[in-house]
Amino acid sequence: MTTSDDLPIKSNSDVVLVRQHVRTAAVNVGLSLVDQTKVVTAASELARNALVYAGGGQVRIEIVNNGIRKGLRLAFSDTGPGIPDIPQALTDGWTTGGGLGLGLSGSRRLVDEFDLQSAPGEGTLITVTKWAR
């Protein structure tokens, strides 16, 4: 069973909405409370990144199945300026937006699979997956 849910990210209240949808999906997948909180926090970070650095974007929330386990896959896409130096962006403490610089690198640690595609001028696509244990 695969269900998907597309949400726009255009304002701060959309970030809250994304969080709520991700939480509902995480409960449906059967993630533990700790994993729910982790994936919701990662969603919050990535959604805010899309908002702050690209002026907005969208997220696709998908429930996936690899035959053995169910999982939650989130794809954040934007058409913003893109990331020129990906390894640098994934370094703890590196920020260009006045934050703590842990959003992107921390999100990678919060989820099981993390895929980042980005090039300057071509926007950013980040796909993360969290599997139920």
Q: Which residues bind other proteins (CB under 8 A)?
A: 12, 16, 19, 23, 33-34, 36-38, 40-41, 44-45, 48, 92, 99-100, 102-103, 105-107, 109-110
Q: Which is nearer to other proteins, 65 or 91 (CB)?
A: 91
Min dist. Cβ of residue 29 to other proteins (A): 16
- For residues 63 and 70, the answer to whether their CB atoms sit within 8 Å is yes
Taking the CA of residue 7 as centre, how many other CA atoms within 13 Å lie in the half-sphere pointing to its CB?
A: 23
Tokens, residue 75? 């794809």
Q: If you ran DSSP here, which 8-state letter would residue 91 be given?
A: S
- For residues 74 and 127, the answer to whether their CB atoms sit within 8 Å is yes
Min dist. Cβ of residue 2 to other proteins (A): 26
> How far, in Å, are 44, 91, 111 from residue 13 at the CA level?
11, 28, 23
Q: Which is nearer to other proteins, 121 or 133 (CB)?
A: 133
Min dist. Cβ of residue 49 to other proteins (A): 10
Q: Which is nearer to other proteins, 65 or 95 (CB)?
A: 95
Q: If you ran DSSP here, which 8-state letter would residue 122 be given?
A: S
Min dist. Cβ of residue 82 to other proteins (A): 21
Q: Which is nearer to other proteins, 65 or 96 (CB)?
A: 96
* Partner residues linked to 127 by β-bridges: 75, 115
